[in-house]
Structure 1
Amino acid sequence: MARSLDGLTFAPVSDQAPGQVGTRTRFAYHEKDGEVWAEYAGGDVVRGHLVGTREGDQVDFRYVQLRTDGTTASGHCVSTVVELPDGRVRLAETWEWESRPGSGTSVVEQVTEPAP
């Protein structure tokens, strides 16, 4: 199993559509005994939370967020944990909104600057 996500900060490697997470969004991850959760903010996201589970290199979670325009959104995501050659961690994500139509893929990578 790849190393723990606990205490790691992640950022998207590219911007998504407006109203979604972007390169200015930071995710502060926590992990304990197969449970995974995170807080996130930045860009179009005022505040977001995710909660789920991890089994091996797969993380399965639900997310909910408040955006700068005052709307909320929620969805489901499955991520694959990959350790990069430089020792950082990448999450390759497949997600789907549950509060509205839409789905896609994204990549977040470990960064050294702290989450907001």
Structure 2
Amino acid sequence: MERSQPNYRLIYHDIISIKCPGKKEECSPILNKKEISILDVIKLNMIIFGINDKETQIFNQKHRSYDESTILEILDYQAKNNLNNTQLANHFKLSRNTVAKWKKHFKNKHLHPVKAN
């Protein structure tokens, strides 16, 4: 049985309407997309809630999960911006080992060539 993805559009629409209506305009380009990716959810969180303290960031990072399309989007970002694994890991707050594992696992699936470290 395949798990369905939460309706992020509805969730964030409600959060913005109730907690911070002033950020509606800033969030609307993301919320108006046909599909909202995990990276979009991370961007929305940053817009709405801002940067948390270091302890909260560490906790949140440990509980993040990425679907295949998001991983491929991250790997394409690396290729388009000519980043090495360390730079990509720092940008997305990942471990270098995670990036290396993803590159090995998805090496034949993404569209852009990946720059070797």
TM over 0.5: no
Greater strand content: 1
TM-score normalized with structure 2 length: 0.21
Greater helix content: 2
TM-score normalized with structure 1 length: 0.22
Larger radius of gyration: 2
